[in-house]
Amino acid sequence: MTAAPTTSAGRIVPPARTAVLLGLLVVVAFVVRVDALRNSAPPVPALGDARAYHLLGANLADGRGYIRPYEALEGREIATAEYPPALPVVLAVASKAGIAGTEGQRVVLCGVGALTVGLIGLLARRLGGTDGAGYLAAAIGAVHPGLWNADVSLMAEPLASFAGAALVLAALAAIDRPSWRRTAALGLLTGLGAMVRSELLLIGLVLLAVVLALGVRAGAGRRPVLVRAAAGLVGALVVLLPWTARNAVAFDGELVPLTNNSGSVARGANCDAAYGGPFRGLWVTDVALDGHDRDAARAGCFSGFDLARHPNEADAAAQLRADGLAYVQEHRGELPGVVAARVGRTVGLYRFEQQRNFAFAEGRNPVWDGRGTRSFQVLAVLGVVGLVLAAARRASRQRWLLLVPVACSLLVVAATYGNPRFRAAAEPAVVVLGALGAIEFARWARPVSPPAR
């Protein structure tokens, strides 16, 4: 006789034994990431986002404020909101704790990535209904290169993956035991996620809407639902308003709720080179680097913030944003194909080799970046199969909640540009879907034993 699997339906907090076993998988995940950092990860590039994040954190730790990183190396202190502040704050705390070098800070982010594996296990356990589902998902997350190859780079993706998993868990907690406190916690996490990457704000708000809609469907009164809605929105605003107020002071009253990055994205993703040719669907810059001349084929793309004409970064971003939106208006007919290219690049269905090779410039191993995308594709297919099979046997519909991070992330990609690292907030959900899909397929393929005589 075999023991029945331990059920965990409707429970997020696991018993001690399960927590210990999931903890061991978190340790395995950390070891995998540190080993990858030592043996396969390229160095942090001398220029680019990873170095900028490091410099932003160092400036904060030194008390110089949130200032443009590369201009600060030249002795100029210019207020910035080009990058969301969450990762620089984490790196500043690490620096204050004595971890000031890039390699040590990458180890810190490996730890964040390992904790994400624990959240993946909790998600799969809650939605799959058994401890085994949690163990399988956590084991996949521990070795999935789509996660760990991003975790070893000095970028915001480890925090984005952690926040993406945490938001879905918070939504499930609010569904299991509806209360204004749990909805406020979901809102608070939404605000914190927005400080990591902009798509997490969209993910959190959609999850909040789903939680409230399910409350209405369950027969909750109008007043309790409105109270929860207010609690969720206030939770988000508690985080967002201080940052917005700081930006208003730093940029002479300009309203900058999140970042000025929308300007550089709008200009670099909407230009001739980004709409046709080998860079279709990408973000393109014509900034001259290392003494090389500007590439005429990239003329009209992002050429940096024009701080000479617009010393206020928000004003410079507004001009870039206006230029990018004007280009969109003039090339509306080309947009559907460009959007398809953006999404295709992100999920590995368009210019796979080219996109893979770009990973080195962002501090990721190109070979493992490609393998991570292939692994993502397999998990996504398993996830779709699992959802279909689960629907056929009328399993819990709450699994469909995992599609929210996926849909929101791809929507943001469609509106901006393509890059596999933009899957980060959705990657934990895809791992969980893949694990649950494998279990559903095994259940479906298992031969039915004849009745005993």
Neighbouring CB atoms inside 10 A of 70's CB total: 12
pLDDT digits (tens, 9 = 90+) for 286-324: 876 544 556 777 888 999 999 989 899 999 999 999 999
- What is the domain partition of the chain in residue ranges? 16-443
Q: Report whether pLDDT(421) > 80.
A: yes
Determine the pLDDT at residue 291: 46
Mean pLDDT of 145-174: 97
Tell me the CA distances in angstroms from 361 to 50, 141, 285, one per residue in order.
Answer: 9, 25, 14
**If pLDDT is split at 50, 70 and 90, which confidence band does 418 have?**
very high
Residue 347: its pLDDT value, please?
98
Across 29-43, average pLDDT: 97
Using CA of residue 73, residue 76, residue 81, residue 82, what is the dihedral sign? negative
d(CA 56, CA 83) in angstroms, rounded, equals 9
Q: Which percentage of the chain shows pLDDT scores above 70?
A: 95
pLDDT at 169 > cutoff 70: yes
Question: End-to-end CA distance of the chain, in Å?
Answer: 17
Instruction: Evaluate if residue 2 carries a pLDDT over 80.
Output: no
pLDDT of residue 6: 52
**Residues 364-385 pLDDT 10s:** 999 999 999 999 999 999 999 9
What's the CA gap between 279 and 273, in Å, rounded? 6
Q: How many other C-beta atoms are found inside a 10 Å radius of the C-beta of residue 251?
A: 20
Q: For all residues of the chain together, what is the average pLDDT?
A: 93
pLDDT of residue 447: 66
Q: Classify the C-alpha dihedral 275-277-283-287 as positive or negative.
A: negative
Burial class (CB in 10 A: 0-12, 13-18, 19+), 400: middle
Whose tokens are 């624990």? That residue is 118
| Cα–Cα nearest to 156, from 214, 112, 191 | 112
CA distance 448 to 96: 60
3-state secondary structure the chain: CCCCCCECCCCCCCCHHHHHHHHHHHHHHHHHHHHHHHHCCCCCCCCCHHHHHHHHHHHHHCCCCCECHHHHHCCCCCECCCCCCHHHHHHHHHHHCCCCCHHHHHHHHHHHHHHHHHHHHHHHHHHHCEHHHHHHHHHHHHHCHHHHHHHCCCCCHHHHHHHHHHHHHHHHHHHHCCCHHHHHHHHHHHHHHHCCCCHHHHHHHHHHHHHHHHHHHCCCCHHHHHHHHHHHHHHHHHHHHHHHHHHHHHCCCCCCCCCCHHHHHHHHHCCHHHHCHHHCCCCCECCCCCCCCCCHHHCCCECCCCCCCCCCHHHHHHHHHHHHHHHHHHCHHHHHHHHHHHHHHHHCCCCHHHHHHHHHHHCCCHHHHHHHHHHHHHHHHHHHHHHHHHHHCCCCHHHHHHHHHHHHHHHHHHHCCCCHHHHCCCHHHHHHHHHHHHHHHHHHHCCCCCCCC
List, for residues 58-102, the tens digit of each pLDDT value: 999 999 999 999 999 999 999 999 999 999 999 999 999 999 999
- pTM of structure: 0.94
Position 216 scores a pLDDT of 86
Give 258-287 pLDDT, tens digit per residue. Answer: 999 999 999 999 999 999 999 999 999 987
So what's the pLDDT on residue 3? 42
